Structure 1
Amino acid sequence: MPAPRRRLMLALLAAATVAVGATATPAASAAPPAPLGPTVIRTDQPPTGYSVTFRYRAPEDVQQVHIYGDWFYSRPENIPCQDCGDARPPAQWQPGDVAATPWHIQAMQKGSDGVWTFTTPLPAGTFRYAFTHDCTNELATGCTLHDDPANPWQIQPQYPGAPGAVRSTIYVPTSNKFPTYDTGYQAPVAKLGTLESRRYPSPLSTNPPGVHDIVVYLPHGYDPDRAKPYPTLYLSHGSGDHSTAWTMQGVAHLILENAIRDRAVEPMVIVSTDFNGLPGGNEGYVNELRNNIFPFVEQNYHVSTRPEDRAFGGFSAGGSRAYTIMYNHTDLFGYHAAWSAGGPNATQAQIDRMKAVAGGIMIGTGLQDRLGNIAENSQRNAAALRASGVDLDEYNVPGVHTWHVWRPLLNHYLRALAFRATTTGLGVETAPAGTSHNSKVIATATVGSVSTSMSAPSGTVDFYAGDTHLGSAPLHDGVARLKTTVHGELVGPVVAHYRGDNLFNGSQSPAVDAQ
């Protein structure tokens, strides 16, 4: 037999021997079973470039399993009411869609290994999901929701009967080939801080009686002995949730860490509160903050006790509490945010208090939020406050009454407002400059942060006399000094405008007449 043919026959015989061996001992070469839980898969295929496969093992006597997730979509113009819209599954996602309610169940398939599976494309973002057993209602009404034991929350509800929605989440990145949403600010991070479930004494609490719960997030690198205390962000959930909501469903800790990584904010402590079981409505919640939560947090963590170093944000029912705080108790916080809440009309006394807020105020909503006409009422109230002279940051995003709205609102709050306020002071001196027609001007601006910060404001200050730009000067150790010569006399008082930087917002000095 020729050598080439002999080599071919030997190769075929060897291959046949391996195949026979594999058949005889399947355990030796069989691929390991796929893991339970969700697996994110990059497909580079439309409509989203990514898909997720869910694997779930149900009890043997369950005849049908469905998955129930917040990934149904609608055109914004097709949402005339809450729980209205196209209700298209993610396989039919289109650019410009908003995540809408209601959710629907989708059937899973049972494999020969007894594991139920479901694969769907998903756009970028964080999604909640659960499983139903033998549920026949398309909206899962009346059906028990089961979380994913292979993908549980890091912190579970702290007491029996605590309200809470689905307790499993999955993050999908953005596809470069099929971009959907810019949600990288929600992405998991390599270096995470510490989540703590804490129970504190609460004479006001009726459930649990005498004690209440918070979830505290300490940022990566938290140092209990650093020179300056940390600022604190206090968050409130909405109806049907409790203290785990903002970190487990809202991924507030991931949003913070991504902002820190981008050098858009400094580290802060997050305290997620629980308004359930507190009598007295909104005012009862305020009393709980002042009398019980603040003392506990400030005694147990290295955080500042200054109101200027506290920020508050809440959505829906928590947004109602935010309005109560910013209208009537502005002294408790330097920064206020009310999201997805209409807000009552403000009295003149309340407007005056808001004008004196040291840090800033934010109002935001989902633009298609039809729950009680929230979108319309939120924008109306923001316009009324601005017309009354209240300086506020209004930021609205496409969406309805869901976490797909509240996550970007929190991200904006952190990167655009919270703990970023500055003050600018100004001193001006003038003197003759050689001729009677010229004046030498020395303008000195001092820029400081309203909140306690490990950094100092940097960047540039612009100086104006009326509409005339006198010049610009860089900040050094909080001071910017401009020396210039003006032809003739100054026209109008001098004002200094600090431009702001990555960590601090700009501010303007009072007008100063030249001396």
Structure 2
Amino acid sequence: MLVVRPRPKTMSPLRQRLTPVLLAAVVVAAGSVAAPAAAAPPAAPLGPTVTRTDRPPTGYTVTFRYQAPDDVQQVHIYGDWFYSRPDNITCQDCGDARPPAEWQPGDVAATPWHIQPMRKGADGVWTFTTPLPGGTFRYAFTHDCANELATGCALHDDPANRWKIQPQYPGAPGAVRSTIYVPASTRFPTYDTGYQAPVARTGTLESRRYSSPRSTNPAGVHDIVVYLPHGYDRDRAKPYPTLYLSHGSGDHSTAWTMQGVAHLILENAIKDGAAEPMVIVSTDFNGLPGGNEGYVSELRDNVIPFVEQNYHVSTRAQDRAFGGFSAGGSRAYTIMYNHTDMFGYHAAWSMGGPAANQAQVDSMKAVAGSIMIGTGLQDRLGNIAQASQQNAAALRAAGVELDEFNVPGVHTWHVWRPLLNHYLRALAFRATTTGLDVAVAPAGASSHTKVTATATVGAVSVNVADPSGKVDFYAGDLYLGSAPIHNGVAKLKRTVHGGLAAPVVAHYRGDKLFNASRSAPVAGN
């Protein structure tokens, strides 16, 4: 159970001096009536408690309370909260490895994790209190572990704060299944992570199993986790778009919601008016033979048909988005390069990516929606940071339009959460098209021309809302004016001196839910 406590209030010095006197007066006034015995304070709950302190270094602390078996001699906590100066990270698992009590502005979350000792209280409960900056953190406990990195030690999740969907099959990877969210302090700002905060209203998480002749673990069936957004309506007029996500090595289908809090990132984006509701499908590539191509075949033959048959989602490719990190990012590149038409939106994170040939470049140029590439800027695992940036530059040089978004960090969830947030708020299901028709005619004096420009703005993907805002019209460098969109159409009438010196182009500005687009140049007819 998670408890959040406000900053404790303190009494003024005068009230501290008066309180004993006032209590004594009450006893005298009561005569022979004895004061009731003070009730014993309730026992503190097990699990984590977040407390606002307004003290450095982060303005918040978290206290963890854990009940271990009686025969355990020492408990350590093993948490995702060690930090380094960015310039000191020269390789994977290199850096300062400072605990959160030594957090400094400008730090990035680094690896490896270390164990930290807990103290056993008189009530037999083990406790540990630490400051933590803003964000989502994973943690587990070890029993009688002597290795500083918990190597070879069993990891125990927190029974009072256990993730709601447990591993769906024996041997599922991933052993840290308890998480904690800490707000950011306004007095001691750390990281802007409000986009991943718990929200008042969430949708439904479902663990689903589908038939898979390809799967070897579990044999003949496979698992996904599906998130249905708050207010999901299987009878609404328009079906929902679908975001498919892939985990990395050492995880499985629960990872993107358990550790990545993808559902909370989505709901915060919806709450902010930056995204529309969508269905999220978290996949599992473990137990699927054939490497990247085997995974793609599983998506095409089994996962996507199952989702589209069981949920009210669109069956059009332009209404599907894909994203994956690390080993999942490798699969994202395979889809982006060789199976581009399966999805309208593509994102490859924390993976260098192979060089693209001309046929692959041509298919990416024709993608219906958008392409994103991103990484942690200090990711030294196989030199991923440099390789990712080099590949993005090569694709841009080849003429592929893409969004490159990189953040400080290494090969951790502290990188993948903001990458997903950017994907949802800036790219996924936001693409538009702008068409243009231009008519010209003489206008009174022979030196004037009447121009009527009609732009048609539409969404590429299914959405409940329609693009709104304004369209700007240009003839070369000449600004003709702007017009608002009504029912998908923006019309401008303008009289210009002389004829048009260049074809007209319409620029849709975009709005909170839709991205900008521009028409092809159109000469007057």
User: Aligned in 2, Cα 1:8/1:44: closer, same or farther, shift over 3 Å?
Assistant: closer
Decide which of 53, 77, 82 is 2:63's aligned counterpart: 53
Partner deviation per Cα, 1:308-367 (whole Å, 9 max, x = no partner)? 000000000000000000000001000000000000000011000100000000000000
Decide which of 130, 133, 136 is 2:143's aligned counterpart: 133
In 2, Cα distance between the equivalents of 1:38 and 1:286? 40
1:328 matched residue in structure 2: 338
Decide which of 80, 93, 104 is 2:90's aligned counterpart: 80
1:169 matched residue in structure 2: 179
Identity of aligned residues (%): 82
2:482 matched residue in structure 1: 472
SS at match of 1:29: coil
Partner deviation per Cα, 1:8-29 (whole Å, 9 max, x = no partner)? 976455799999752xxxxx70
1:113 matched residue in structure 2: 123
In 2, Cα distance between the equivalents of 1:101 and 1:18? 63
| Pairing of 1:256-335 with structure 2 (within 5 A) | 256-335=266-345
**Paired amino acid for 2:74:** Q
In 2, Cα distance between the equivalents of 1:452 and 1:105? 48
User: Aligned in 2, Cα 1:66/1:20: closer, same or farther, shift over 3 Å?
Assistant: farther
SS at match of 1:338: strand
Aligned length: 505
1:367 matched residue in structure 2: 377
| Pairing of 1:92-491 with structure 2 (within 5 A) | 92-491=102-501
TM-score (norm 1): 0.96
> Alpha-carbon deviation of 1:454?
0.7
In 2, Cα distance between the equivalents of 1:125 and 1:498? 36
In 2, Cα distance between the equivalents of 1:91 and 1:266? 39
**Considering only aligned residues, what root-mean-square deviation do their CA atoms show, in Å?**
1.5
**Paired amino acid for 1:71:** W
In 1, Cα distance between the equivalents of 2:403 and 2:172? 34
In 2, Cα distance between the equivalents of 1:176 and 1:280? 50
1:25 matched residue in structure 2: none
Contact 1:76–1:98 (CA under 8 A) maintained in structure 2: yes
Partner deviation per Cα, 1:116-163 (whole Å, 9 max, x = no partner)? 000000000000000000001111011000000000001111011101
SS at match of 2:434: strand
Structure 2 segments unaligned to the other structure (5+ residues):
1-20
In 2, Cα distance between the equivalents of 1:314 and 1:86? 29
User: Aligned in 2, Cα 1:302/1:17: closer, same or farther, shift over 3 Å?
Assistant: farther
Decide which of 72, 86, 108 is 1:62's aligned counterpart: 72
> Alpha-carbon deviation of 1:467?
0.9
2:6 matched residue in structure 1: none
In 2, Cα distance between the equivalents of 1:8 and 1:259? 52
User: Aligned in 2, Cα 1:427/1:18: closer, same or farther, shift over 3 Å?
Assistant: farther
User: Aligned in 2, Cα 1:433/1:163: closer, same or farther, shift over 3 Å?
Assistant: same
Partner deviation per Cα, 1:75-120 (whole Å, 9 max, x = no partner)? 0011000000000111111111000000000000000000000000
**Paired amino acid for 1:251:** V
- 2:42 corresponds to 1:32: yes
In 2, Cα distance between the equivalents of 1:366 and 1:417? 19
In 1, Cα distance between the equivalents of 2:68 and 2:244? 38
**Paired amino acid for 1:113:** D
In 2, Cα distance between the equivalents of 1:398 and 1:448? 36
Contact 2:27–2:35 (CA under 8 A) maintained in structure 1: no
**Paired amino acid for 1:247:** T
Contact 2:212–2:220 (CA under 8 A) maintained in structure 1: yes
TM-score (norm 2): 0.94
Contact 1:165–1:240 (CA under 8 A) maintained in structure 2: no
In 2, Cα distance between the equivalents of 1:408 and 1:8? 54
Contact 2:243–2:281 (CA under 8 A) maintained in structure 1: yes
2:11 matched residue in structure 1: none
In 2, Cα distance between the equivalents of 1:183 and 1:347? 38
**Paired amino acid for 1:309:** D
In 2, Cα distance between the equivalents of 1:32 and 1:21? 17
> Alpha-carbon deviation of 1:165?
3.5
In 2, Cα distance between the equivalents of 1:48 and 1:208? 44
User: Aligned in 2, Cα 1:406/1:437: closer, same or farther, shift over 3 Å?
Assistant: same
Contact 2:348–2:372 (CA under 8 A) maintained in structure 1: yes
**Paired amino acid for 2:122:** S
Contact 2:138–2:259 (CA under 8 A) maintained in structure 1: yes
**Paired amino acid for 1:410:** L
Structure 1 segments unaligned to the other structure (5+ residues):
1-5, 23-27
SS at match of 1:469: strand
User: Aligned in 2, Cα 1:19/1:308: closer, same or farther, shift over 3 Å?
Assistant: farther
**Paired amino acid for 2:85:** R
Contact 1:238–1:318 (CA under 8 A) maintained in structure 2: yes
In 2, Cα distance between the equivalents of 1:105 and 1:20? 48
User: Aligned in 2, Cα 1:8/1:143: closer, same or farther, shift over 3 Å?
Assistant: closer
